C-alpha cells in the first residue's frame, strides 16, 4: 500500500465551510488535518465564535487550524456571487446554520445541481428529518433530551459531559458521511447531501444503555449510581491530597496478579472470590480493603506497581495538566497561535498514517487573511 501524500491523505480535496461554534468547524478541522484545502467563509469582522468568553474561549483556536479565511457579506450581491463561485469549485461544502438559512440565499444543496453536480453538501444540524427537525438545538440541549446528561450526573442531578462531546462526535459522523459520499462519487460521478445531527448522535452514544434496558428489562441507573460489571473499577484516594487514581481489575487473571503484587493474598487465595461475578457480589467486602491500601501509597508509587502488573489505571488529571503530559508531547500536540498572538500547543488529530502524525500545515487564520489567494483560485464567473 502506498504512503499518504506528504500533505495528508486528503490532499487536493477542496472544502468550503460556512460554520460557527463547534460542530461544523470540527468537521472542517478534521478534513483540514487530513490534508484537505479548507476555506472558511466568515461574516464581515470574522466569525463571532472568535470573541466568545468563558468556556467558549477555546472553541475557535481548537477547531480552526489548517484552514484559510475569507470574510464575505452574504447579503451583498457581489459577495454572494463570490461565495457561489467558491462552492462551484469545491468538492465539499460544510454548513451548520439554522435549517433553511443557506437555502434562502441560494446556497442550498439543490442550487448547485447543474454547476457542481459532484458536490458533497454536508449539513450539521440539531436533528435529522422528523418532528423536531426545525427546532434549535445545542450540544447541551441534546445531552439533556437524549439521556446523556441523565446518565452522567448522580440520580436527580442531570449533568452535561465535561466537553462538547456531542458537537465533536456529531462532527466526526459528518466526516464519516462525507468520506462515504466521496467514495460513492468515485463510482457514480454524483455528489450527495449528507446530514449529521446532535440529537441522533446523542441517541447513538447512549444506545448501549438502551440495549441494557432491552436485555435486562431494568432501566439503567446513572453512571455514578450504576452497578459496575467489576468489583474493582473506581476512583481511589491516595496518600497525597488531590491525587486520585482510577483503577480497573477486569479479569480473573488480573485479579490474581493484583492481589499478589499488592500483598492481598488472603483475598487472592479465597476461592469464593476467584470468579468475576462473585467478586462483584462481594464489593462491600473488597473495596474497603483496597481503599485502605491505596490511601497508604503515594500515587506515583501505585502507578509504578500497576503499570508493572499491566492493569488499566489512570491518574485523574485536569485538562491544563495535559500540556505537560510526556506522551502527548511525543507528537500529540501541535503549536498554534491564539487570540493576542501568543502560541500554545493543542491536541493533534488522534490518528497515525504509517507511523506519522498529521500536524499543522496552516496556523489558525486571522479574519479575511486569505482573501486574495482564495478569490484568485476560485473559478471565473460564468
Q: Which residues are known to be catalytic?
A: 167
CB 144 within 8 A of CB 158: yes
Q: Could you give the CA distance from residue 349 to residue 37 in angstroms, rounded to a whole number?
A: 16
- Work out the end-to-end distance of the chain between its first and last CA atoms, rounded to an integer number of angstroms: 41
Name the residue among 121, 129, 160 with its Cα closest to residue 142: 160
Q: Could you give the CA distance from residue 189 to residue 183 in angstroms, rounded to a whole number?
A: 10
CB 89 within 8 A of CB 379: yes
Q: Where are the alpha helices (DSSP H) in the chain?
A: 23-33, 59-63, 77-88, 139-145, 148-152, 165-188, 198-205, 207-216, 252-261, 265-268, 276-281, 283-294, 299-309, 371-377
Q: What are the Cα distances from residue 210, in Å, to 189, 213, 360?
A: 39, 5, 40
* Residue 117 φ then ψ, to 5°: -65, -15
DSSP per-residue codes, 92-160: EEEE-SSTTTTGGGT-STTTTTTT-TT-EEEEEES--SSTTTTS---HHHHHHHTTHHHHHSSTT----
Contacts of residue 14, Cβ cutoff 8 Å, sequence gap at least 6: 36, 37, 39, 89, 90, 91, 92
Neighbour tally for 325: CB within 10 Å? 13
Q: Could you give the CA distance from residue 263 to residue 240 in angstroms, rounded to a whole number?
A: 21
Amino acid at each position: 500500500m502506498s504512503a499518504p501524500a506528504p500533505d495528508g491523505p486528503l490532499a487536493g480535496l477542496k472544502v468550503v465551510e460556512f460554520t460557527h461554534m463547534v460542530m461544523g468547524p470540527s468537521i472542517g478541522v478534521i478534513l483540514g488535518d487530513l490534508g484537505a484545502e479548507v476555506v472558511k467563509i466568515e461574516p464581515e469582522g470574522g466569525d463571532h465564535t472568535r470573541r466568545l468568553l468563558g468556556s467558549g474561549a477555546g472553541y475557535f483556536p481548537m477547531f480552526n487550524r489548517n484552514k484559510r479565511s475569507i470574510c464575505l457579506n452574504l447579503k451583498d450581491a457581489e459577495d454572494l456571487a463570490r461565495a457561489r463561485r467558491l462552492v462551484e469549485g469545491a468538492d465539499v461544502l460544510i454548513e451548520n446554520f439554522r435549517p433553511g438559512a443557506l437555502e434562502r440565499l441560494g446556497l442550498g444543496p439543490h442550487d448547485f445541481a447543474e454547476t457542481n453536480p459532484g458536490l458533497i453538501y454536508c449539513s450539521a444540524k440539531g436533528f435529522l428529518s422528523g418532528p423536531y427537525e426545525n427546532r434549535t438545538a445545542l450540544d447541551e440541549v441534546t445531552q439533556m433530551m437524549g439521556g446523556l446528561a441523565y446518565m452522567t450526573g448522580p440520580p436527580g442531578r442531570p449533568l452535561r459531559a465535561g466537553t462538547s462531546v456531542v458537537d465533536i462526535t456529531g462532527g466526526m459522523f459528518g466526516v464519516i458521511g462525507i468520506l462515504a459520499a466521496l467514495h460513492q462519487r468515485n463510482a457514480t460521478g454524483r455528489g450527495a447531501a449528507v446530514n449529521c445531527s446532535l440529537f441522533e448522535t446523542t441517541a447513538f452514544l447512549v444506545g448501549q444503555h438502551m440495549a441494557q434496558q432491552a436485555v435486562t428489562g431494568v432501566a439503567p441507573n446513572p453512571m455514578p449510581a450504576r452497578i459496575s460489571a467489576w468489583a474493582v473499577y473506581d476512583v481511589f484516594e491516595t496518600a497525597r491530597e488531590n491525587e486520585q487514581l482510577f483503577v480497573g481489575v477486569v479479569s480473573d487473571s488480573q485479579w490474581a496478579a493484583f492481589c499478589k503484587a499488592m500483598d492481598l493474598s488472603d483475598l487472592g487465595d479465597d476461592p469464593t472470590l476467584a470468579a468475576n461475578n462473585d467478586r462483584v457480589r462481594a464489593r462491600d467486602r473488597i473495596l474497603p480493603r483496597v481503599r485502605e491500601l491505596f490511601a497508604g501509597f503515594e500515587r506515583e508509587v501505585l502507578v509504578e506497581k500497576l503499570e508493572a502488573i499491566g492493569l488499566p489505571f489512570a491518574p485523574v488529571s485536569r485538562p491544563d495538566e495535559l500540556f505537560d503530559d510526556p506522551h502527548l508531547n511525543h507528537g500529540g500536540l501541535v503549536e498554534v497561535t491564539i487570540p493576542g498572538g501568543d502560541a500554545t500547543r493543542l491536541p493533534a488529530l488522534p490518528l497515525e498514517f504509517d507511523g506519522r502524525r498529521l500536524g499543522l500545515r496552516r496556523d489558525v487564520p486571522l479574519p479575511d487573511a486569505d482573501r486574495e489567494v482564495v478569490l484568485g483560485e476560485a473559478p471565473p464567473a460564468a
